[in-house]
Amino acid sequence: MNFDVVIHGGLVVDGTGAPPWRADVGITGGAVSAFGQLAEVSAGEVVDAAGRLVMPGFVDAHSHADVRVLDDDVQLALLRQGVTTVVTGQDGVSFAPGGAAAVQWAGEYFAGINGPAEVSWRDGLSLAEYRAGLDGRARVNTAHLLPHGTLRYDVAGLQPELDGDQLRGLVRRVEDGLGEGAVGLSTGLHYVPGLYGDVDEFTLIGGALAAAGRPCVTHMRGYEADAWIGMGEVHTIATRSGAAVHVSHFHGPSNMLVDLVDQAREDGVDLTFDSYPYLRGFTLLTVPLLPADLLALPPRVLVDQLGDAGVVSRLLTDWFPKVGDVFDRAVIAGAPAVEFTDVEGLSVTEAAAKAGMGPGEFAIALLRATGAAATAVFCQPPTNTDADVRALLRHEAHMGGSDGIFLGGHPHPRAWGTFARYLALHTRDLGDWTWGEASLHLAGHPARRFGLARRGVLRPGAAADVVLVDPGLVQDTATYPDPARLAVGIDEVWVNGQRVLHSGELTPQLAGRALSWGD
């Protein structure tokens, strides 16, 4: 048998949870074709993997690389962690599918999270067109969720309630998107217009998802102390619709969260979740800082309102004293305005002092200048501990998701470090996982949840998304002070049988595919 590539002398960690076993791996025509003793067979290339683990490419269950995945620096950050597939369209807001107004809104609303829409998308696009625009243009695969908020905006703008025709139109858009290859649907219930959706709306949508066998992925309505509210809604929607559900960036006190997950699963809910191994979060600065009536406004209208003397007075006098701790907890990650880029990396309080302003006045000025696109890294409540992170990642319903955002001058290190941190700290150093369990949580579980039947495992016929991991050297190097540092210990990666990372550097091979359910 002739092979394109033989990976020789490594320990195979196949993505099923099984312990490592010694075997050579043969790759032919973009797929894994054989295991065994293959040193003497004919091959276009033989790669020495002695001392390294041969693992399936990792699937990032929650990524905001939507359009940034086309950037070389983003691809390098992902591949140096062993990530070969990203699941995009998260939190209910993304570029497709949607008409021109919806795409423009999504690009403005999540400008600090997903980045702006490509010019060619601004007249609107279907999911098929969006996927075609990514296919073969990157070194990593993409799998896309239907963004509920974008679809809802397409139907009714930011209108809080939908009439019968609008609701039926929303469900039809979901069904069309599933037919064009979406791997599920995402909701963002802290963001407009997703926060207007009720159980009845999501139950109807969940019925369409259940019929297609695809999950509802949700940024819940409540985390931390309110997680029981969010999980209660998730439980009801899943029970009524029959849809599988997946909770995004699950975090909070583990004694409560684990009980909520276990109870739902005991009740027959097909529930999974992802998390990242850090104790700080990242989102738009507006989310924890502004009252609900202002958060509900489109960015352009919000900016106008923040220039109104009455609104400013209400914020400074009545509202900010209630949420004043945010000024100290929020470190500015992205400030896309020339006059404010020098405050990235400072807390709002520190930046305000530098500008000679009060924190409230400064925050308003920052939001106005950036079109409400400023982002921040936030300290989570003290009820969140390292022990909670470890308890959640050990749960059988867990899978790895970075919630990675590759924008801003001082972003969260999770985009550059999540998967390497899981391997270094939680597998090698702390022993929270065995190597077999690591490959299951980071590859096998997410591939199965999102219907990527040929990913996440190494077996004959599987797509050859393959990563070589040095178990002694793998390490995240990104920190809060220096967040965009590349991981080390993963220098060789194949995607669809083509080497896309060699000696730690990108190759010219744009082997990534826009995957659909079943790929």
Q: Which domains does the chain have, with CATH numbers?
A: 58-281+384-443 (3.20.20.140), 283-379 (no CATH)
Q: Is the pLDDT of residue 158 over 80?
A: yes
CA 194 – CA 192 distance, rounded (Å): 5
Enter the DSSP assignment of 519: -
pTM of the full predicted structure? 0.95
Closest to 13 (Cα-Cα) out of 444, 417, 430, 396: 444
Task: State the pLDDT confidence band at 173, using cuts at 50, 70 and 90.
Answer: very high
pLDDT, one tens digit per residue, over 462-495 is 999 999 999 999 999 999 999 999 999 999 999 9
pLDDT recorded at residue 40: 81
Q: Is the pLDDT of residue 117 over 90?
A: no
Summarize the confidence of residues 139-158 as an average pLDDT: 97
pLDDT, one tens digit per residue, over 36-85 is 988 788 888 999 999 999 999 999 999 999 989 999 999 999 999 999 99
Burial of 37 (0-12, 13-18, 19+ CB in 10 A): exposed
Q: Is the pLDDT of residue 154 over 90?
A: yes
pLDDT recorded at residue 327: 94
Q: Is the pLDDT of residue 1 over 80?
A: no
CA 233 – CA 68 distance, rounded (Å): 32
CA 329 – CA 349 distance, rounded (Å): 9
Amino acid at 472: G
